[in-house]
Amino acid sequence: MNNSVSQNQRVLSGMRPTGLMHLGQYHGVLKNWVELQHSYECFFFVADWHALTTHYENTASIAQSSFDLVVDWLAAGVNPGSSTIFIQSRVPEHAELHTLLSMITPLGWLERVPSYKDQQDKLKDKDLSTYGFLGYPLLQSADILIYKAGHVPVGEDQVAHVELTREVARRFNHLYGKEPDFEQKAQTAIKKMGKKNARIYNDLLRRYQEQGDAEALSVGHALLDSQQNISIGDKERLTGYLEGGGRIILPEPQALLTRSSKMPGLDGQKMSKSYNNSISLREAPEAIEKKIRTMPTDPARIRRTDPGDPQKCPVWQWHEVYSSDDLRAEISSACTTASIGCVDCKQHIVDSVIKELKPIQQRVREFEQDPSSVESIINEGCEAARDVARDTISEVRRAMGLRLG
């Protein structure tokens, strides 16, 4: 959507602390986070409350898993100098916003989120009939909106949660974006842009509101975005004014869809801890070797002399991730002519995975030897996140009439 939000350069994403990270998550999610740090202001957090929604019976490892998760991020290249790294439960403002949003969220919106029924069907052995589980996506909305994040990198399964967030934000702005003196404040803000820009803005406003001119709307957004002289509050006000609504207090985020990773599990299915087909980032070289050696291959290759078809082999999918074009061409023809054995073919993957993980594991060891450095990264991140979250929550309290002035 072409509103002020698409220009918002803040990214927020979270992961639940449910055990060590595996290669699938590394290739699918974490590498993407590391990339995003170059172009956006990033907030990455451990969603420990979200872990409670499905693991409330056994919480013994949540705190340790949260710490380990941060270590994995740091080791993989998430940079605390450019990203804010924090833990959800240490920023209680998320919970306050969740409570406030729960007041305006129709029950049906939550019941209709596909993951609600899907997960209940899938995780039959778990009791997911709790209030917390129903509220899972709304807590996620609070996570996003408390930072006014413009972009939320997520996998396909989470897109509906971002969509819900957009609806909740829209409802919130609709209900509470109309300050009593909105009109007057908007007029004052227009003047602050200077004569020339004010004239352009008023003209665009008229074209959009009287003629429904969509181009005028998008030019208007660009104009507001380029203003240096007005505060963020005024920008939000003028965006709402241009769009014909109230002030945008909680901007609608966009899902930044993470391409699903090409990295399959050891058996060719999606890599997942629960399928027992994964390699963790901390896996020892011997274990990596053993796991890859025992991967299934093209079932037609019973004997060493039987030709194979890479398209029918899970190992080939790993070559797609790890091997150069040249090596792939070589392997592909050697497989179909039975001039390479599967053991040798797999050895390339063993070597590549070990090589890729070596520096990461080295950094994991360094951080583990110096846990206080990780603690201070987390402490600083939590403080920085709280500063932003506090600003939003006080704005929200005021807009909802819980505070004067």
Q: Assess 14 for contact with ligand TRP (CB under 6 A).
A: yes
Q: Assess 47 for contact with ligand TRP (CB under 6 A).
A: yes
Q: Assess 250 for contact with ligand SF4 (CB under 6 A).
A: no
Of the two residues 110 and 338, which places its CB atom closer to ligand SF4 in the complex? 338
Of residues 86, 208, 316, 322, which one binds ligand SF4 by CB under 6 A? 316
Residue that has been written with the tokens 């790294």 in this structure: 85
Q: Assess 345 for contact with ligand SF4 (CB under 6 A).
A: yes
Q: Assess 24 for contact with ligand SF4 (CB under 6 A).
A: no
Half-sphere exposure of 374 (CA within 13 A, CB side): 22
Q: Assess 255 for contact with ligand TRP (CB under 6 A).
A: no
CA distance 76 to 306: 40
Q: Assess 143 for contact with ligand TRP (CB under 6 A).
A: yes
Of residues 4, 140, 197, 280, which one binds ligand TRP by CB under 6 A? 140
Of residues 70, 149, 335, 393, which one binds ligand SF4 by CB under 6 A? 335
Which of ligand SF4, ligand TRP, none does residue 158 bind to, with CB < 5 to 8 Å depending on kind? ligand TRP
Of the two residues 16 and 221, which places its CB atom closer to ligand TRP in the complex? 16
Are 87 and 48 contacting, i.e. CB atoms less than 8 angstroms apart? yes
Q: For residue 291, count CB atoms less than 10 angstroms from its CB and return exposed for 0-12, middle for 13-18, buried for 19 or more.
A: middle
Residues 232-251 that bind ligand TRP (CB under 6 A): none
Residue 210 burial (CB count, 10 A):
9
Q: Assess 322 for contact with ligand SF4 (CB under 6 A).
A: no
Q: Assess 13 for contact with ligand TRP (CB under 6 A).
A: yes
Q: Assess 289 for contact with ligand SF4 (CB under 6 A).
A: no
What values do phi and psi take at 190, rounded to 5?
-60, -45
Q: Assess 298 for contact with ligand SF4 (CB under 6 A).
A: yes
Are 41 and 10 contacting, i.e. CB atoms less than 8 angstroms apart? yes
Of the two residues 21 and 342, which places its CB atom closer to ligand TRP in the complex? 21
Buried-exposed string 149-165: b where 16+ CB fall within 10 A, e elsewhere:
bbbbbbeeebebbbebb
CA distance 246 to 241: 6
Of residues 91, 100, 342, 388, which one binds ligand SF4 by CB under 6 A? 342
Q: Assess 10 for contact with ligand TRP (CB under 6 A).
A: no
Residue 341 burial (CB count, 10 A):
17
What 3-state DSSP class applies to 11?
strand
Q: State the nearest-atom distance from the C-beta of 282 to ligand TRP, in Å.
A: 20
Q: Assess 177 for contact with ligand TRP (CB under 6 A).
A: no
Q: Measured between alpha carbons, how far is residue 122 from residues 61, 116, 127 in Å? A: 23, 10, 11
User: Taking CA 191 as the corner, what is the angle to CA 189 and CA 192, rounded to the nearest 5 degrees?
Assistant: 65
Give the residue from 59, 58, 49, 56 showing the smallest Cα distance to 15: 49
Amino acid at 183: E
CA distance 386 to 90: 8
Q: State the nearest-atom distance from the C-beta of 285 to ligand SF4, in Å.
A: 20
Structural element, H or E, at residue 308? none
Q: Are strands 83-87 and 41-46 parallel, antiparallel or unpaired?
A: parallel
Q: Is the dihedral of CA 202, 203, 206, 208 positive or negative?
A: negative
Q: Assess 292 for contact with ligand SF4 (CB under 6 A).
A: no
Q: State the nearest-atom distance from the C-beta of 263 to ligand SF4, in Å.
A: 16
Which of ligand TRP, ligand SF4, none does residue 154 bind to, with CB < 5 to 8 Å depending on kind? ligand TRP
Of residues 113, 315, 378, 399, which one binds ligand SF4 by CB under 6 A? 315
Are 256 and 318 contacting, i.e. CB atoms less than 8 angstroms apart? no
Q: Assess 340 for contact with ligand SF4 (CB under 6 A).
A: yes
Which of ligand TRP, ligand SF4, none does residue 335 bind to, with CB < 5 to 8 Å depending on kind? ligand SF4
Q: State the nearest-atom distance from the C-beta of 63 to ligand TRP, in Å.
A: 17
Strands (E), 135-244: 151-154
- By rule CB under 6 A, what string of x and - marks binding of each residue 189-228 to ligand SF4? ----------------------------------------
Of residues 193, 313, 374, 399, which one binds ligand SF4 by CB under 6 A? 313
What 3-state DSSP class applies to 43?
strand
Binding site for ligand SF4 (CB under 6 A): 297-298, 301, 308, 310, 313, 315-316, 335, 340, 342, 345-346
